[in-house]
Structure 1
Amino acid sequence: MNIAFFLLPKDEVIYLSPRSTMRQALERMERHRYSAIPLVDQNGKYAGTITEGDLLWKMKNTPGLTFANAHTVRLDQIEQHVKNQPVHIHADMEDLINLAMEQNFVPVIDDKEVFIGIVRRKEIIEYCAAVIRREELRA
């Protein structure tokens, strides 16, 4: 099976620039009900994933930081506590599954390391469930 089969392309993915603000991230997360958003730099390269936890830790550890002034903090100023690893578009399914065990989604990059989309854990689980059902029918 090819990873591209599971790919949600970049133009359908909610992502932010590392130069976006903390407030923009909070608003996007709220609007789309996400707990994490991939970051893509000005060259189109995957730059990490910002999570709700990262934003909460920044607020907790920054005296005076509130939602009202969160527009003053850029995402590249916030430590990413979880390092979501991307997968190459030509990687094996096993590589994808191993990453998905630890990540809600797996960023996908092309031959030039450019971000081209994500694979959500949901699609991987659905694929694995279908494989199990087929195997059970054969038995």
Structure 2
Amino acid sequence: MMNIRSFLLPKAEVAYITTTATMRDALELLDTCHYSAIPLIDHEGKYVGTLSEGDLLWKMKNTPGISFDNMHQVPIMEIKKRIRNEYVSVDAQLDDMLALAADQNFVPVVDDEILFIGIIRRKDIIEYYTRSITD
């Protein structure tokens, strides 16, 4: 029987950003990793949300005088998060994760303490089920 761990991309292989980062840090990380959204982790390693390119764009649009040169002065936590990526416990049922993956590019995975342990990418789920169907 498949479980959530079978799809897990571990934290060590995932680009994420911490709550102490700046807007410029986020922009540079998104550019480097080619993600359109990244998990946001606090100083204890807990998942606190997802930051998207759109969040950065809206912040730029709504903040007079902001530019690439002064983005390092904008704390990441001042940026409104428009995507509410629901997370799933690593021990949850596969159906719970699949329901979330239908609406999210990735599903953050946490342990019992809400510590971030990785993500499940919708792409990987689709590839797995496509292989199952064609085999």
Task: Give the shorter-chain TM-score range.
Answer: over 0.9
- Alpha-carbon offset, residue 75 of structure 1: 0.9
- Alpha-carbon offset, residue 34 of structure 1: 1.1
- Alpha-carbon offset, residue 132 of structure 1: 2.4
Aligned to 1:88: 89
Rg bigger for which structure? 1
CA distance in 2, matches of 1:40, 1:82: 15
Sequence identity, in percent? 54
- Alpha-carbon offset, residue 112 of structure 1: 1.5
Q: C-alpha offsets along residues 6-59 of structure 1, whole Å, 9 cap, x if unaligned?
A: 111111111111120000010011111111110110111001010000000000
- TM (norm. structure 1) is 0.92
| Runs of 4+ displaced beyond 2 Å | 130-134
Aligned to 2:101: 100
Q: Secondary structure at the match of 1:47?
A: strand
CA distance in 1, matches of 2:73, 2:113: 33
> Which range moves more in the overlay, 30-39 or 46-55?
30-39
Give the paired residue count: 134
Aligned to 2:129: 128
CA distance in 1, matches of 2:75, 2:67: 14
CA distance in 2, matches of 1:44, 1:33: 23
Output the aligned Cα RMSD.
1.0
Unaligned runs of 5+ in 1: 135-139
Unaligned runs of 5+ in 2: none
Quick one: which amino acid aligns to residue 52 of structure 1? E
CA distance in 2, matches of 1:61, 1:72: 15
